[in-house]
Structure 1
């Protein structure tokens, strides 16, 4: 059957290269220059090189093959019974399968060549290795099961196969591995940079591994970011299938459900990454911000930094008029505005702050005095900080912009 040897026939095609080709084709699609079935086939297509459908050639000159060029499809005598749109639909489904095989090929290099390298294992600590490669083996395992089901479907009916029901069935497993992998991105990047700078053996070992022909001149970082690229690409592939599916059909319903589930996974991944970054920022700030007297627990899952910066506190005791202008005595005050509270502090040194007052957002009152004090450049406003409806602190602030 035409679907039996996708993984082996894609052995020379890495997903990074497929992504470049797919992006170029997407640009052409958006510009309305999508090729027709005759153009798509290209000048010469090797029937044994089953790989992502594309009208472009790879950087090494080999043409990416199409569903319609599979020997079983060509010899079936059924191809002429397919309309132009039906052919494009099958090509879109075929691309999802072959690009998954290409993706797994690249994941295998990341795991087998880099992660399992005895020299690299010996060079890295257990925690460093965990942070650098994260749950990549789990991603690979889930993707392999996904591809196995896709290939089995192709073997069953190479002419009229569907893939969106399989995508839908595998979404829970994809979510289970992609969410933690994507969330770990910040640790992954930090670990990689730290190892380059602080581990004297790491750069040399990494360079030797990257020089191996199996990597096709691609760096480790291009393999580590594959899951981020794939989950987004999978959504786009299903969107392309849905666009060509018969309206009102059961297939359209399945494709819509699969697309919605993929969108949910991507949304969760983005949200998780944002939460992780916010928490990292709070942990970082917690080391720099100190409180006078009362302890304030800064780190919270529901808190994030909205804005921060330095303003000038106007000394109301020494407010004087010189000619037609106000003469101001000021000193700097630093504000950290969070989604639920505001901290006012003085700099102890460049990166340390001593908080002298803080209040919840709902306990703040602001009064703009810029119109009343027109002789002063910038913006002047009164800020009152309350607690249980009682005034706790008030301060006159000047800012250069509104």
Structure 2
């Protein structure tokens, strides 16, 4: 029964993480990458790429993990395992995380620089960060969640042994 509760907690945290990634993509990245905004595009495509990197790829991988975990929880039996779900995504995790984590300082600097340089972008950030879906977090705080996710998964899984 303890394994079930740990996997349930893993699923809950995975759902929260996917929700945060969706907020990043839908409330910040997509609107910034949309041409034809009144007054012109807020940031160049290069700026958008520098700030958001491969967040959509990370979102896709974690959506797959979340769906796999949800299916296992819905069909839980005493001998249910989840290792194959994570192992099945291991190549993708190894592909998407190193570039994001290795360039996270560049991401933070690009965000900070654009925030200082472009008043319309600054206003866009303040407006979007005040939305309830952001949970009173700044874009910078939201963007660090992928850096923190893998260590949190490891800590949760250590409880399944």
What number of residue pairs does the alignment pair up?
156
- Deviation track 1:109-132 (CA, whole Å, cap 9, x = no partner) reads 011111112588620001100000
Residue number in structure 1 paired with 2:13 = 99
Distance 2:34 2:132 in 1: 18
- Deviation track 1:259-294 (CA, whole Å, cap 9, x = no partner) reads xxxxxxxxxxxxxxxxxxxxxxxxxxxxxxxxxxxx
Distance 1:123 1:159 in 2: 53
**Structure holding more strand per residue:** 1
Residue number in structure 2 paired with 1:202 = 121
User: RMSD value over aligned CA atoms?
Assistant: 1.8
Offset of residue 160 of structure 1: 4.5
Q: Which has the higher contact order (CA 8 A, sep 6+)?
A: 2
Superposition TM-score, scaled by structure 1 size = 0.37
SS in 2 for 1:161: coil
**Residue number among 207, 214, 239 corresponding to 2:158 in the alignment:** 239
Residue number in structure 2 paired with 1:129 = 48
Unaligned runs of 5+ in 2: 36-40
Distance 1:159 1:175 in 2: 30
- Deviation track 1:138-187 (CA, whole Å, cap 9, x = no partner) reads 10011111111222222333555321232222211111111111112121
Residues 1:157 and 2:76 are matched in the alignment = yes
Residue number in structure 1 paired with 2:97 = 178
Residue number in structure 2 paired with 1:111 = 25
Superposition TM-score, scaled by structure 2 size = 0.88
Q: Does structure 2 conserve the Cα–Cα contact (< 8 Å) formed by 1:120 and 1:205? A: no
Distance 1:143 1:91 in 2: 20
Distance 1:109 1:158 in 2: 34
Residue number in structure 1 paired with 2:38 = none
Residue number in structure 1 paired with 2:65 = 146
